[in-house]
Amino acid sequence: MRLQGKAAIVVGAGQSPGDTIGNGRATAILFAREGASLLLVDRDAASAAETRDMIVSEGGKAEVFQADITSEDDVQRIPAACLDAFGRIDILQNNVGIGTGDQSAAQVTRENWDRIFDTNLTGMMLTCQAIIPAMREQESGSIINISSVASIASTPMAAYKTSKAGVNALTQHLAMANAAYGVRVNAILPGLMDTPMAIGGFAARRGTEQEQVRSERNARVPLRKQMGTGWDTAYASLFLASEEAQFITGVLLPVDGGQSIRVG
Ligand SMILES: NC(=O)c1ccc[n+]([C@@H]2O[C@H](COP(=O)([O-])OP(=O)(O)OC[C@H]3O[C@@H](n4cnc5c(N)ncnc54)[C@H](O)[C@@H]3O)[C@@H](O)[C@H]2O)c1
Protein backbone atom coordinates (compact mmCIF):
# COMPACT_ATOMS: atom_id res chain seq x y z
CA MET A 1 0.00 0.00 0.00
CA ARG A 2 2.62 2.51 -1.12
CA LEU A 3 0.00 5.13 -2.08
CA GLN A 4 -2.34 4.67 0.89
CA GLY A 5 -4.58 7.71 1.39
CA LYS A 6 -3.39 9.49 -1.78
CA ALA A 7 -5.58 10.91 -4.52
CA ALA A 8 -4.25 10.41 -8.04
CA ILE A 9 -5.31 11.75 -11.42
CA VAL A 10 -4.42 9.74 -14.52
CA VAL A 11 -5.01 11.74 -17.69
CA GLY A 12 -5.49 9.32 -20.58
CA ALA A 13 -6.75 6.57 -18.27
CA GLY A 14 -8.64 4.74 -20.99
CA GLN A 15 -6.82 3.11 -23.86
CA SER A 16 -6.93 2.39 -27.56
CA PRO A 17 -8.96 -0.77 -28.27
CA GLY A 18 -6.99 -4.03 -28.22
CA ASP A 19 -6.05 -7.16 -26.30
CA THR A 20 -3.07 -5.82 -24.35
CA ILE A 21 -3.04 -3.13 -21.69
CA GLY A 22 -2.21 0.56 -22.28
CA ASN A 23 0.20 2.62 -20.15
CA GLY A 24 -2.48 4.77 -18.51
CA ARG A 25 -4.86 1.94 -17.68
CA ALA A 26 -2.10 -0.20 -16.17
CA THR A 27 -0.91 2.77 -14.09
CA ALA A 28 -4.41 3.54 -12.81
CA ILE A 29 -5.00 -0.08 -11.81
CA LEU A 30 -1.61 -0.33 -10.06
CA PHE A 31 -2.06 2.99 -8.21
CA ALA A 32 -5.46 1.77 -6.95
CA ARG A 33 -3.96 -1.57 -5.83
CA GLU A 34 -1.42 0.46 -3.82
CA GLY A 35 -4.19 2.33 -2.00
CA ALA A 36 -4.77 5.50 -4.05
CA SER A 37 -8.18 6.88 -5.04
CA LEU A 38 -8.28 7.54 -8.77
CA LEU A 39 -9.77 10.23 -10.98
CA LEU A 40 -9.72 8.69 -14.46
CA VAL A 41 -9.62 11.44 -17.08
CA ASP A 42 -10.04 10.69 -20.78
CA ARG A 43 -11.85 12.16 -23.78
CA ASP A 44 -13.18 8.64 -24.32
CA ALA A 45 -15.43 8.28 -21.26
CA ALA A 46 -16.47 4.72 -22.17
CA SER A 47 -12.86 3.53 -22.20
CA ALA A 48 -12.12 5.28 -18.89
CA ALA A 49 -15.25 3.61 -17.48
CA GLU A 50 -13.80 0.20 -18.43
CA THR A 51 -10.70 1.11 -16.40
CA ARG A 52 -12.93 2.20 -13.50
CA ASP A 53 -14.87 -1.09 -13.61
CA MET A 54 -11.60 -3.06 -13.46
CA ILE A 55 -10.47 -1.05 -10.42
CA VAL A 56 -13.82 -1.29 -8.62
CA SER A 57 -14.02 -5.05 -9.27
CA GLU A 58 -10.73 -5.39 -7.34
CA GLY A 59 -12.14 -3.33 -4.44
CA GLY A 60 -10.45 -0.04 -5.45
CA LYS A 61 -11.86 3.47 -5.64
CA ALA A 62 -12.14 5.33 -8.95
CA GLU A 63 -14.26 7.92 -10.74
CA VAL A 64 -14.40 8.89 -14.40
CA PHE A 65 -14.08 12.46 -15.62
CA GLN A 66 -14.52 13.16 -19.33
CA ALA A 67 -12.19 15.83 -20.69
CA ASP A 68 -10.35 16.60 -23.91
CA ILE A 69 -7.02 18.07 -22.85
CA THR A 70 -6.85 20.25 -25.96
CA SER A 71 -9.84 22.16 -24.53
CA GLU A 72 -8.86 24.71 -21.86
CA ASP A 73 -12.43 24.70 -20.51
CA ASP A 74 -12.34 20.93 -20.00
CA VAL A 75 -8.92 21.02 -18.35
CA GLN A 76 -9.89 23.81 -15.96
CA ARG A 77 -12.58 21.53 -14.50
CA ILE A 78 -10.23 18.63 -13.68
CA PRO A 79 -8.84 19.85 -10.29
CA ALA A 80 -12.30 20.64 -8.89
CA ALA A 81 -13.52 17.19 -9.93
CA CYS A 82 -10.68 15.55 -7.98
CA LEU A 83 -11.00 17.84 -4.95
CA ASP A 84 -14.77 17.30 -4.85
CA ALA A 85 -14.35 13.53 -5.06
CA PHE A 86 -11.35 12.97 -2.79
CA GLY A 87 -10.50 16.28 -1.05
CA ARG A 88 -6.91 16.44 -2.30
CA ILE A 89 -4.60 15.92 -5.29
CA ASP A 90 -1.33 14.10 -4.61
CA ILE A 91 -0.39 12.56 -7.94
CA LEU A 92 -0.86 13.46 -11.60
CA GLN A 93 0.15 11.14 -14.40
CA ASN A 94 -0.02 12.78 -17.84
CA ASN A 95 -0.34 9.79 -20.17
CA VAL A 96 -1.99 11.25 -23.28
CA GLY A 97 0.07 11.01 -26.44
CA ILE A 98 -0.73 10.55 -30.14
CA GLY A 99 1.23 10.05 -33.34
CA THR A 100 -1.40 9.35 -35.99
CA GLY A 101 -0.78 11.29 -39.19
CA ASP A 102 2.85 12.03 -38.35
CA GLN A 103 5.58 11.90 -40.99
CA SER A 104 9.07 13.25 -41.59
CA ALA A 105 9.52 17.04 -41.45
CA ALA A 106 9.61 17.09 -45.25
CA GLN A 107 6.17 15.47 -45.47
CA VAL A 108 4.09 16.19 -42.37
CA THR A 109 1.11 18.50 -42.93
CA ARG A 110 0.70 21.64 -40.85
CA GLU A 111 -2.66 20.29 -39.66
CA ASN A 112 -1.16 17.05 -38.32
CA TRP A 113 1.84 18.86 -36.80
CA ASP A 114 -0.48 21.23 -34.92
CA ARG A 115 -2.83 18.45 -33.76
CA ILE A 116 0.03 16.36 -32.39
CA PHE A 117 1.61 19.35 -30.63
CA ASP A 118 -1.75 20.51 -29.21
CA THR A 119 -2.30 17.04 -27.72
CA ASN A 120 1.18 15.88 -26.70
CA LEU A 121 2.68 19.12 -25.45
CA THR A 122 0.18 21.96 -25.05
CA GLY A 123 -2.46 19.67 -23.50
CA MET A 124 0.08 18.41 -20.99
CA MET A 125 1.17 21.97 -20.14
CA LEU A 126 -2.49 22.90 -19.57
CA THR A 127 -3.16 20.01 -17.18
CA CYS A 128 -0.01 20.84 -15.18
CA GLN A 129 -0.96 24.52 -15.09
CA ALA A 130 -4.45 23.65 -13.83
CA ILE A 131 -3.43 21.12 -11.17
CA ILE A 132 -0.17 22.50 -9.74
CA PRO A 133 -1.85 25.25 -7.65
CA ALA A 134 -3.62 22.60 -5.50
CA MET A 135 -0.32 20.74 -5.03
CA ARG A 136 1.50 23.95 -4.12
CA GLU A 137 -1.16 24.66 -1.52
CA GLN A 138 -0.60 21.19 -0.02
CA GLU A 139 3.19 21.73 -0.32
CA SER A 140 3.50 18.28 -1.86
CA GLY A 141 2.72 16.46 -5.06
CA SER A 142 4.18 14.20 -7.71
CA ILE A 143 3.69 14.71 -11.44
CA ILE A 144 4.72 12.03 -13.92
CA ASN A 145 4.76 13.04 -17.57
CA ILE A 146 4.80 10.25 -20.14
CA SER A 147 7.33 11.19 -22.80
CA SER A 148 9.00 8.68 -25.15
CA VAL A 149 12.44 7.37 -26.04
CA ALA A 150 11.57 8.81 -29.46
CA SER A 151 12.38 12.21 -27.91
CA ILE A 152 16.08 11.27 -27.76
CA ALA A 153 16.36 8.60 -30.49
CA SER A 154 16.08 8.75 -34.25
CA THR A 155 12.58 8.26 -35.62
CA PRO A 156 10.84 9.19 -38.87
CA MET A 157 8.00 10.85 -36.91
CA ALA A 158 8.95 14.54 -36.74
CA ALA A 159 6.01 15.96 -34.77
CA TYR A 160 5.90 13.08 -32.26
CA LYS A 161 9.66 13.28 -31.59
CA THR A 162 9.73 17.06 -31.29
CA SER A 163 6.61 17.27 -29.11
CA LYS A 164 8.00 14.61 -26.75
CA ALA A 165 11.32 16.48 -26.58
CA GLY A 166 9.18 19.43 -25.53
CA VAL A 167 7.66 17.24 -22.81
CA ASN A 168 11.18 16.57 -21.48
CA ALA A 169 11.98 20.29 -21.40
CA LEU A 170 8.60 21.13 -19.84
CA THR A 171 9.25 18.49 -17.15
CA GLN A 172 12.62 20.00 -16.25
CA HIS A 173 11.17 23.50 -16.23
CA LEU A 174 8.27 22.49 -13.98
CA ALA A 175 10.58 20.55 -11.65
CA MET A 176 12.70 23.63 -11.04
CA ALA A 177 9.78 26.06 -10.82
CA ASN A 178 7.97 23.94 -8.23
CA ALA A 179 10.81 22.48 -6.18
CA ALA A 180 10.47 25.14 -3.48
CA TYR A 181 6.82 24.13 -3.04
CA GLY A 182 7.59 20.43 -2.50
CA VAL A 183 6.08 19.44 -5.85
CA ARG A 184 8.16 16.88 -7.79
CA VAL A 185 7.93 16.60 -11.58
CA ASN A 186 9.52 13.71 -13.50
CA ALA A 187 9.14 12.11 -16.92
CA ILE A 188 9.15 8.51 -18.07
CA LEU A 189 10.48 7.72 -21.53
CA PRO A 190 8.91 4.41 -22.57
CA GLY A 191 10.68 2.53 -25.33
CA LEU A 192 9.03 -0.08 -27.52
CA MET A 193 5.94 -1.18 -25.58
CA ASP A 194 3.36 -3.82 -26.47
CA THR A 195 0.29 -1.59 -26.13
CA PRO A 196 -2.75 -1.52 -28.43
CA MET A 197 -1.96 1.99 -29.67
CA ALA A 198 1.55 1.03 -30.74
CA ILE A 199 0.86 -2.39 -32.23
CA GLY A 200 -2.58 -1.71 -33.70
CA GLY A 201 -1.57 1.76 -34.87
CA PHE A 202 1.57 0.69 -36.73
CA ALA A 203 -0.10 -2.41 -38.20
CA ALA A 204 -2.95 -0.29 -39.57
CA ARG A 205 -0.61 2.37 -40.95
CA ARG A 206 1.60 -0.18 -42.72
CA GLY A 207 -1.19 -2.55 -43.72
CA THR A 208 0.60 -5.49 -42.04
CA GLU A 209 -0.41 -8.11 -39.49
CA GLN A 210 -0.08 -7.16 -35.81
CA GLU A 211 2.10 -10.24 -35.18
CA GLN A 212 4.56 -9.01 -37.82
CA VAL A 213 4.80 -5.60 -36.09
CA ARG A 214 5.24 -7.38 -32.75
CA SER A 215 8.11 -9.58 -33.85
CA GLU A 216 9.91 -6.70 -35.60
CA ARG A 217 9.62 -4.51 -32.48
CA ASN A 218 10.71 -7.35 -30.18
CA ALA A 219 13.85 -7.88 -32.28
CA ARG A 220 14.88 -4.23 -31.77
CA VAL A 221 14.93 -4.41 -27.94
CA PRO A 222 18.39 -5.18 -26.44
CA LEU A 223 17.02 -6.67 -23.18
CA ARG A 224 15.73 -10.21 -23.84
CA LYS A 225 14.57 -9.17 -27.35
CA GLN A 226 11.18 -8.45 -25.81
CA MET A 227 9.09 -5.28 -25.78
CA GLY A 228 7.94 -3.79 -22.50
CA THR A 229 4.28 -3.59 -21.48
CA GLY A 230 1.98 -1.05 -19.87
CA TRP A 231 2.91 -2.62 -16.51
CA ASP A 232 6.54 -1.57 -16.92
CA THR A 233 5.43 2.05 -17.33
CA ALA A 234 3.05 1.59 -14.39
CA TYR A 235 5.72 0.26 -11.98
CA ALA A 236 8.13 3.08 -12.87
CA SER A 237 5.26 5.54 -12.33
CA LEU A 238 4.46 3.95 -8.97
CA PHE A 239 8.04 4.47 -7.79
CA LEU A 240 8.08 8.12 -8.91
CA ALA A 241 4.65 8.72 -7.34
CA SER A 242 5.59 7.15 -4.00
CA GLU A 243 7.45 8.62 -1.03
CA GLU A 244 10.38 6.36 -1.94
CA ALA A 245 11.17 8.91 -4.67
CA GLN A 246 10.83 11.91 -2.34
CA PHE A 247 14.30 13.28 -3.29
CA ILE A 248 13.84 12.77 -7.05
CA THR A 249 12.69 15.58 -9.32
CA GLY A 250 13.45 16.65 -12.90
CA VAL A 251 14.47 13.14 -13.97
CA LEU A 252 13.89 11.80 -17.49
CA LEU A 253 13.72 8.04 -16.88
CA PRO A 254 13.96 5.67 -19.85
CA VAL A 255 11.90 2.48 -19.43
CA ASP A 256 13.11 0.88 -22.60
CA GLY A 257 15.06 -2.37 -22.17
CA GLY A 258 18.30 -0.58 -23.02
CA GLN A 259 17.17 0.82 -26.37
CA SER A 260 18.33 4.37 -25.63
CA ILE A 261 21.93 3.39 -24.81
CA ARG A 262 22.47 1.46 -28.03
CA VAL A 263 24.57 3.74 -30.21
CA GLY A 264 26.13 2.45 -33.40
N1 LIG B 1 3.05 2.28 -26.63
C2 LIG B 1 4.31 2.61 -26.86
O3 LIG B 1 5.11 1.87 -27.46
C4 LIG B 1 4.80 3.93 -26.32
C5 LIG B 1 6.16 4.22 -26.41
C6 LIG B 1 6.61 5.43 -25.93
C7 LIG B 1 5.72 6.33 -25.37
N8 LIG B 1 4.39 6.03 -25.30
C9 LIG B 1 3.50 7.02 -24.72
O10 LIG B 1 2.69 6.43 -23.74
C11 LIG B 1 1.45 7.13 -23.66
C12 LIG B 1 0.27 6.18 -23.69
O13 LIG B 1 0.42 5.28 -24.70
P14 LIG B 1 -0.61 4.08 -24.87
O15 LIG B 1 0.01 3.17 -25.87
O16 LIG B 1 -1.01 3.54 -23.57
O17 LIG B 1 -1.84 4.87 -25.58
P18 LIG B 1 -3.42 4.72 -25.56
O19 LIG B 1 -3.89 5.31 -26.85
O20 LIG B 1 -3.83 3.31 -25.28
O21 LIG B 1 -3.89 5.63 -24.34
C22 LIG B 1 -3.99 7.01 -24.46
C23 LIG B 1 -5.35 7.48 -23.96
O24 LIG B 1 -5.37 8.91 -24.13
C25 LIG B 1 -6.67 9.28 -24.57
N26 LIG B 1 -6.59 10.56 -25.28
C27 LIG B 1 -6.09 10.79 -26.52
N28 LIG B 1 -6.21 12.09 -26.82
C29 LIG B 1 -6.80 12.70 -25.76
C30 LIG B 1 -7.20 14.03 -25.47
N31 LIG B 1 -7.02 15.02 -26.37
N32 LIG B 1 -7.76 14.30 -24.28
C33 LIG B 1 -7.98 13.30 -23.38
N34 LIG B 1 -7.64 12.02 -23.60
C35 LIG B 1 -7.05 11.72 -24.78
C36 LIG B 1 -7.13 8.14 -25.45
O37 LIG B 1 -8.56 8.12 -25.53
C38 LIG B 1 -6.55 6.91 -24.73
O39 LIG B 1 -7.49 6.36 -23.83
C40 LIG B 1 1.46 8.15 -24.79
O41 LIG B 1 1.87 9.41 -24.29
C42 LIG B 1 2.52 7.60 -25.73
O43 LIG B 1 3.11 8.60 -26.52
C44 LIG B 1 3.92 4.85 -25.77
pLDDT band, very low/low/confident/very high, at 263 (cuts 50, 70, 90): confident
Range scoring the smallest mean pLDDT among 140-149, 197-206, 215-224: 197-206
Q: Which pLDDT belongs to residue 85? A: 98
The answer, yes or no, to whether residue 191 has pLDDT greater than 90, is: yes
Q: Is the C-beta atom of 127 inside 6 A of ligand 1?
A: no
Q: Is the C-beta atom of 37 inside 6 A of ligand 1?
A: no
Atom of ligand 1 nearest to the CA of 160: 43
Ligand 1, atom 20: closest residue by C-alpha: 15
Q: Is the C-beta atom of 123 inside 6 A of ligand 1?
A: yes
pLDDT band, very low/low/confident/very high, at 121 (cuts 50, 70, 90): very high
CB 36 within 8 A of CB 244: no
User: Which pLDDT tens digit goes with each residue over 154-174?
Assistant: 999 999 999 999 999 999 999
Q: Which pLDDT belongs to residue 91? A: 99
CA nearest neighbour of 171 among 158, 185, 159, 155: 185
The answer, yes or no, to whether residue 259 has pLDDT greater than 90, is: yes
Atom of ligand 1 nearest to the CA of 149: 6
Strands (E), 43-199: 61-66, 91-94, 141-146, 183-190
* CA–CA separation, 194 and 191 (whole Å): 10
How many percent of the chain have pLDDT more than 70?
100
Q: Which pLDDT belongs to residue 69? A: 98
Neighbouring residues of 76: CB distance < 8 A, sequence distance ≥ 6: 130
- Tell the CATH topology of 7-191+229-250: Rossmann fold (3.40.50)
User: Residue 36 burial by CB count (10 A; 0-12/13-18/19+): exposed, middle or buried?
Assistant: buried
How many percent of the chain have pLDDT more than 90?
97
CB atoms near residue 202 (< 10 Å): 17
Domain ranges in the chain?
7-191+229-250, 194-227
The overall average pLDDT reported for the chain is: 98
Q: Which pLDDT belongs to residue 264? A: 78
The answer, yes or no, to whether residue 5 has pLDDT greater than 90, is: yes
Catalytic site positions: 160
The answer, yes or no, to whether residue 84 has pLDDT greater than 90, is: yes
| Across 244-250, average pLDDT | 98
* CA–CA separation, 252 and 52 (whole Å): 29
The answer, yes or no, to whether residue 205 has pLDDT greater than 90, is: no
